[in-house]
Amino acid sequence: MAAPTTPAGDNPYGLLQALQEGGLISWTVFIILVAMSIFSFYILFTKLLQQQKIMSQANKVRASFWNSPNLREAANKLEQRSAYRAIVEDALLAQDQHSKLTDPVDQHDWMANSLARSQGAITNRLGEGLAFLATVGSTAPFIGLFGTVIGIYRALIKIGATGSASISTVAGPVGEALIMTALGLVVAVPAVLAYNWLIRRNKSITEDLAAFTNDVHGYLMSNGAVKPVMASAAPKQPAQAARPAPAAGTAAR
């Protein structure tokens, strides 16, 4: 007579069974890791949206910003909460404030410091939340390892209590330990990848902001005489106009 088979879905070594067997400690570790994973993905998607918005603003700056007659009109072409518009408005405000200083300060240094402060504020906003991703990437494996240690400890307790090291005795606690290790890695690896990816994109955005800030500085210090190369007229197309094809029925001479 064949041995009775286990009904489908009644896996005695599944995740839920491991958490129930592990008790309060296993549930606590599991909840912490799930919360870390949820917040990591939330930060990832929100930062991607923020970065994409600034990149689209950079495209608008390249397309039409420097074609305006002055910075005020150029800034009005940008979105109200644009990072590039904030830099221009801070530059114009610093220019107005310099004329009101009672103690003479070189205008070049005053403008450079004001623009650096404005750019730094935007860079700080881009970096918000990335420290959490780095923390998750570095601590999640150890939190999972804590659950692993508890699972191994419970397996040893069972072996000592029963005097047997059979698979049926230690399978539950050891399975719980391995699940906690896997959960720690599942949470940590995406956080590390997201952190490195966002840092790389932030570096590219920061370079664009620094170039734009330098262009604004040069424009103000030269009273509009110095503009970036992208503001110049489009290069002329090569003078290689295609010759029209001879009309049908026209004999070649």
- Provide the pLDDT confidence category of residue 3 given band limits of 50, 70 and 90: very low
242 assigned to some structural domain: no
Six-digit token string for 156: 């040893």
Closest CA relative to residue 113, chosen from 128, 93, 129, 137? 93
What's at 188, amino acid-wise? A
63 assigned to some structural domain: yes
pLDDT of res. 46: 95
pLDDT of res. 193: 95
- Provide the pLDDT confidence category of residue 163 given band limits of 50, 70 and 90: low
Total structural domains within the chain: 1
| 8/93: higher pLDDT | 93
44 assigned to some structural domain: yes
Q: Which residues contact 202 (CB under 8 A, 6 or more apart)?
A: 51, 123, 126, 127, 130
| 24/175: higher pLDDT | 24
**185 is in which domain, residue-wise?**
24-228
Tell me the per-residue pLDDT of 25-51, one tens digit each, with 9 for 90 and over.
778 888 898 999 999 999 999 999 999
Average confidence score pLDDT of the chain = 78
Tell me the average pLDDT across 3-20: 55
107 assigned to some structural domain: yes
d(CA 35, CA 159): 33
- Provide the pLDDT confidence category of residue 164 given band limits of 50, 70 and 90: low
Q: Are 185 and 143 in contact (CB under 8 A)?
A: no
d(CA 187, CA 33): 7
236 assigned to some structural domain: no
Tell me the average pLDDT across 215-241: 66
- Provide the pLDDT confidence category of residue 162 given band limits of 50, 70 and 90: low
DSSP assignments along the chain, one per residue = -PPPPPPTT--TTSHHHHHHHHTHHHHHHHHHHHHHHHHHHHHHHHHHHHHHHHHHHHHHHHHHGGGSSSHHHHHHTS-TT-HHHHHHHHHHHHHHHHTT-SS---HHHHHHHHHHHHHHHHHHHHHTTHHHHHHHHHHHHHHHHHHHHHHHHHHHHHHHHHS---HHHHHHHHHHHHHHHHHHHHHHHHHHHHHHHHHHHHHHHHHHHHHHHHHHHHHHHTTT----GGGSPPPPPPS-PPPPPPPTTPPP-
pLDDT at 253 over 60: no
37 assigned to some structural domain: yes
pLDDT of res. 230: 58
Tell me the per-residue pLDDT of 69-113, one tens digit each, with 9 for 90 and over.
888 888 888 888 888 888 988 888 888 888 777 777 787 888 888
10 assigned to some structural domain: no
128 assigned to some structural domain: yes
At residue 9, what are phi and psi to the nearest 5 degrees?
90, -10
pLDDT of res. 140: 92
